[in-house]
Structures are given as structure tokens and as C-alpha cells.
Amino acid sequence: MPKEFYNPYEKYGLRRVLNAATSMTNLGGSISRPEVFRAMEDASKSFVHIPELQAWAGRHIAEATGAEAGLPVAGASAGLLLAAAACMMRGTELERFDPLGRGQGSWAHLTTKLPMHTEGLKTEFIVHRSGRNSYDHAVECAGGHFKEVGTAQGATESELLSAYDPEKTAAYYYTAREARNGLPLSKVLEIAHVNDVPVIVDAAAELPPKRKLKYYAQLGAHLVSYSGGKHLAGPNNSGLLAGKKELIKLAHLQSYPFSGVGRVAKMSRETIVGLVAALKLYLEHDEEALYQNWLRVAGWIAEQLQGLRGVKAGVTYQRAVEDGEPMAPFCYLELDETVTRIGGRELVERLRDGDPSIAAMYEPAFLIEDYRRRVILNPEYMLEGEEEILIQEVKKLLR
């Protein structure tokens, strides 16, 4: 029999979730290591000047990403919002101020222009139509507007070149996860360099592998936003913004504890310290050993389910868009509904409705191998022994 797992939410009348999906915000992100919580508890025992704490964390982020500077942010979306704000304020009077200088907050009359009062500012962000997603709304929250190029199948170099307007273009916007249908980032950066315009990269979910932390800065990206609450296993409301020194300074001036557009996205001092602790742990962990463990568990789950009537099970991989390198192994299930009497989407829904609730995926559009609709079971966020509960519940529903 599968072992029993403690449910810290039972006292509140809530189900615990067995996470066989991924680091989803609506599940609470990841599970941080005890060292992260100890660092957060220690940080709670005193006050600190937040701008100085942000600058300290920014130095760790810069070192980890290979960028000129960094800033802790309240999640990758907050990072994108601040990146957009920084690009719109580029070349303005705001560049004269220093978030660590005297007279802190004396630039409020400039930062409170966003998102509504953008007269005289460049507010257009050039983006591949194939690279649009719901998260890029952060740019619009900052007061920016998108100018799409190309089609859902991609864009050409000439289309990207002709989209530039010296009076309106604030930056180019690039979504790493959607990049397979568009021009490569290297080409976007080449065009941006000609026009002296920054490039913002949404790299929220581009870890693992660890090398992706430095990949975008090494290519020359001006601002890159990562999630801190996904694979980094930091607090769910944390993220990393890395990039060019002057742009990071502008983002910091727009952030809290000041009065800019990022004031709404506060991070506690404990969260900032926890993020840095998680980043250090991520850089130190044995990536290959962890990958092999995921592969072992994914393979075991596939073996246990392969014998069920009407079920084809196996192992597939999420691969890096840039070079096809395997990033994470998953177990997949393909169901013959004439035999199982239940489809993949219904299986995922019924797993979610159980107790414990089991989160799985039926949206493998990010898999490079193919686009077949399959149930995906991800071992990365499963606690040791939870795979037995997963097998038991899947078998119960498919029999």
C-alpha cells in the first residue's frame, strides 16, 4: 500500500495536491529547501534598508546570470513589467537619479507617469506574433503597447527591420519558450543593435539546465526575467531581473519601496533573502544526478502503466528550444478511448478532483518531438513515494 503523506492543509478543510504537473503558480510554485526557510526566518529578526538589500541581492543575481546588474522582483511577470518601464524611461530625466542616493523618492513625479501618462515617451514593443502569450500583458500593465510582426508561423528579418520606428520603439520583446517559430534571439539582437534599442527576454520557465541562467546575457540580451519560484525553488512570489546596468537602475527606480509602477509588487525582506539562498543552492546542486532520478521515476511510472488495456505509456522529454537538448523527462500516456472509455483530458480532470488532488498535464504543446495530445506525468515535483499513489489512482480510473 502507498504510504500516507502529511496534509498540512487538512486542518483548514483543504485537500493536499500531488504535483505530477510542473511548477505552476496556481499550485504554489515549488517546494523550497529547509535552508531557504531558515534564511528567511533569520532575515525576519531585524529591519533593513530595502534598497540596500535589493542591491545586495542584485549583485548575487548578476554573478549568477553573467549580467552587468540584477534586481530581485516579485515573480517573472513583475520583472517583465519593470523591464518594460525601464525601457520606456530610457533617455529621460530619470536616468539622473540613484536608488541608493540621497533624497530617495524625489523622482516620484517621473515614475508615477506610468502607466497612464506616457506623453513624450516611447511606448511600442516589437514582438513576433508567434511569440505572444498571456504573460506579455505585463508590458501593457506598465503602459506599453505591442507592435506585432509576422504571422503565427513566424516572421522575417525584413518584417522585424521595418517595424522599427525611431519615435515610438521602446524595445524588442522576445519570449524564449515561444521562439521555435520566430527568428532566433541572436538575429533579433543583431537588428536591435543596429537600431540602438534594448531587447527584453521572457525566460521565466527556461530552467533547467543551469547554463540557461547565463545563456541570454552572454548572447547580449539587455534585460532577462526569470522566475524564482519555479525550478530555482525560491519563494513563489520571487524572480530575477538581470541585464544592463543602466536599465536595471531604471527598473529599480520604478520598483518598490519607491512610488513607481512596480510599487504594487512588493517583496518582503524575508523573500529577498530566501530568493538569494535558493539561487545559491540551485547553483550548487548536482544537476545530472537530479536528472537521472527524474528519468528513473518517469521510466518506472511508464512501466507500471504500460500493461493496462488501451494504454500506451513511455518516456518523452521537454527539450531546449535553442539546441534540442533534453531538459526534463516525463512519462506520457496515450489512451485508446474505445477501450479505456475515458479520454486523456477527462483522466486529468478526474485525477484533479480526487483526494489527494493529483495535478497532471494534458497540454504537451511545449514538447518538440510531436504535438499529439497526451497525458503528461512529470516526476520533478513529486515527493518520494508519491509515485505509488499516482499509479494507484490512475489504475483505479482506467480500470
pTM tops 0.85: yes
Residue 376 lies in a domain: yes
**CB-CB contact of 394 with 375 (8 Å):** no
The reply to whether 125 and 163 lie within a common domain is yes
The reply to whether 128 and 212 lie within a common domain is yes
Q: Would the pLDDT of 368 be above 50? A: no
Q: How far is CA 153 from CA 15, 132, 235, 313, 361, in A?
A: 42, 12, 36, 31, 25
Task: Give pLDDT tens digits for 297-343.
Answer: 999 999 999 989 999 999 998 876 666 677 789 999 999 999 999 99
| Measured distance CA(230)–CA(238) in Å, rounded | 9
Amino acid of residue 310: G
Task: Give pLDDT tens digits for 66-97.
Answer: 999 999 999 999 999 999 999 999 999 999 99
CATH number of the domain that 319 lies in? 3.90.1150.180
> Which structural domain range is residue 313 located in?
10-29+286-398
Amino acid of residue 249: K
The reply to whether 343 and 278 lie within a common domain is no
- What is the dihedral angle through the alpha carbons of 333, 381, 23, 186, rounded to the nearest 10 degrees? -80
Alpha carbons within 13 A on the beta-carbon side of 142 = 33
The reply to whether 16 and 54 lie within a common domain is no
Residue 2 lies in a domain: no
Give the Cβ contact number of residue 398 at 10 Å: 18
End-of-domain residue from the set 284, 314, 348: 284
Residue 321: the pLDDT is 67
Alpha carbons within 13 A on the beta-carbon side of 134 = 0
**Structural domains of the chain, count:** 2
Q: Which of 135, 140, 276, 256 has its CA nearest to residue 206?
A: 135
Task: Give pLDDT tens digits for 254-288.
Answer: 999 999 999 999 999 999 999 999 999 999 999 99
The reply to whether 185 and 65 lie within a common domain is yes
The reply to whether 297 and 206 lie within a common domain is no
The reply to whether 194 and 218 lie within a common domain is yes
